[in-house]
Amino acid sequence: MAGRKYSRQREAIRGYLREHRDHPTAEEVYLRLYEEDPHLSLGTVYRNLSLLENMGEIRRIRAGTGPDRFDADLSPHQHFICRSCGKVLDMEVPAAALMLREAAGSFPGRLEECAVTFSGLCGDCAAR
């Protein structure tokens, strides 16, 4: 598999993301796994998150501001980021697929990706 070797650290990162679907940042993953492995390095977390992304095992969510977040849920969905509390919520917006098709039709190149990110106030924050 392309000269890739097993790594305990990568396995832990992969496992953490599969169990925690709250879109953690690299640092959040690091802090949590550091508790069980005090020799873990932040750079290792960043490197493996990028690796897992390239392998197609996880998705990177580029929050408007602040650090990137990561998601092991590969099903087609979008994200909402609350501008007040920073929470990231999953969104199901079927029209997104339609939009990609509509855009790809008239585009004179290769349209590969489409990042959709909603923002505003989440239910909790809007209640105030």
Partner DNA sequence: TTAATTTTAGTAATCGTTACTAATATCAGG
Partner DNA sequence: CCTGATATTAGTAACGATTACTAAAATTAA
Which residues contact DNA by CB under 7 A?
A: 3-10, 25-27, 37, 39-44, 46-48, 50, 66-68
Stretch that binds a copy of itself, among 12-20, 24-32, 44-52, 76-84 (CB under 8 A): 76-84
Distances (CA, A) of 7 to 52, 71, 76: 12, 20, 29
CA 124 centroid distance within chain: 22
* Minimum distance from residue 12 beta carbon to DNA (Å): 9
Residue 33 interacts with a copy of itself (CB under 8 A): yes or no: no
Question: Which of 18, 62, 66, 67: binder of a copy of itself (CB under 8 A)?
Answer: 62
Phi, psi of 73 (to 5 degrees): -85, 110
**Which of 3, 105 has the CB closer to DNA?**
3
Report the alpha-carbon distance of residue 70 to residue 64 in Å, rounded. Answer: 14
Residue appearing with tokens 């190149």: 109
